[in-house]
Amino acid sequence: MSKRYRRKLLSCTKMPKADSSSSSTQSATLSPYFLEQSSGEFAHNDSESGQVMKGNIEGSDEEFEEEIKANRIIGLMKDAHIKRESNKSCNAQSSEKRLSVDLRLSEDFFDQDSIALAKALLGQVVVRVVDGIRISGAIVETESYLGGPDVASHSYNGKRTSRTEPMYMKPGTSYVYSIYGMYHCFNISSKGDGSCVLIRALEPLEGLPKMETGRNQRRKSSTPLKIHELCNGPSKICQAFYLTKDTSNKVDLTASETFWLEQGKSVHENQVVITKRIGIDSYGKEWANKPLRFYVYNNKCVSIRDKKAELQASSSSSFDNVQKAE
């Protein structure tokens, strides 16, 4: 490793702060809100993510590779709180493996009611391993389905079938169902019988070329997808992450080795836009208008933005303070 990046790493170990000098290179993640988080713990697939980011980085191939490696090691030290002394005896690869285990979300995290979980999931990271390639994305949009009285829920009025079984399984179980006979949606069971959270949009972080391959399997257009178009909708997520009812339904997300969630960057409550759910108008005004959709304000990867709700949120002083702080 060159002297330039040795100095970068040494400065990080002395002062564990965000490395502003490297932030301009992190183009795989789109919003400034997740920029610092992506600098370390999401940069696992250098060879793939690098091809997407390389066009925005100046310098030679060798400099590019060293920049990626330096950022990854810095992120590991920051986010896993690895002490400087312990790093002397551990290489980056073993630290990275340990970090993945430490960041996995536990059963306690998922053991929340549907609304609380839908909010808590914002900023957390969905991870999928396909053909040995790690794919990941930060959750930026969710919807809550309450079961029981919720007429838009598959488990409305206590309905329990083989299809809805995952909604009654322990919190943190995947519920992947098919729609229109060719697409899928990914949900996570929450506390309370028959309740779950629909994952509506992700901000891509790792394995972007693999995501694009999955998305292109059913696309007729040859126009290359932009990064924010990879996972800006529930069925798009399933295509990009290779999620089907046959492969990814009823998975314990706290124990699987190919499909799980990791701790991401916390989203301040005043950064969350709350509005009505999408595509359920046929269930009547009462439930169609309930504020059960949650998304990260001003994130380009959100499927459908509610400008009216955003305007109301941005008018609050506390919301403005969060915006200025960033």
**176, 200: one domain:** yes
CATH number for the domain harbouring residue 304? 3.10.300.10
Tens digit of each residue's pLDDT, the chain (326 residues): 555 544 544 444 443 343 433 333 333 444 654 554 444 333 334 333 434 433 333 444 455 445 544 444 544 444 444 344 444 334 444 444 444 557 999 999 999 999 999 999 999 999 999 999 999 999 999 999 999 999 999 999 999 999 999 999 999 999 999 998 889 999 999 999 999 999 999 999 999 999 999 999 888 888 899 999 999 999 999 999 999 999 999 999 999 999 999 999 989 999 999 999 999 999 999 999 999 999 999 999 999 999 999 988 777 645 554 444 44
Rg of the chain on CA atoms, in Å? 20
Residues 148 and 47 in one domain: no
What's the total number of domains in the chain? 2
User: Which SS3 state, helix, strand or coil, does residue 81 take?
Assistant: coil
Same domain, 79 and 161: no
Examine the fold and report which residue of 69, 103, 137 is the final residue of a domain before the chain moves on.
103
Write out the residue range of the structural domain in which residue 205 sits.
Answer: 107-325
Are 66 and 203 found together in one domain?
Answer: no
**In the listed set 55, 76, 103, which residue is the last one of a domain according to the structure?**
103
Give the end of a domain, one of 65, 88, 103. Answer: 103
Alpha carbons within 13 angstroms on the beta-carbon side of residue 21 total 12
CB 182 within 8 A of CB 218: yes
Task: Indicate if 160 and 308 belong to the same structural domain.
Answer: yes
Q: Residues 7, 127: one domain? A: no
Task: Indicate yes or no: pTM above 0.85.
Answer: no
> Residue 89 phi/psi, 5° resolution?
-105, 5
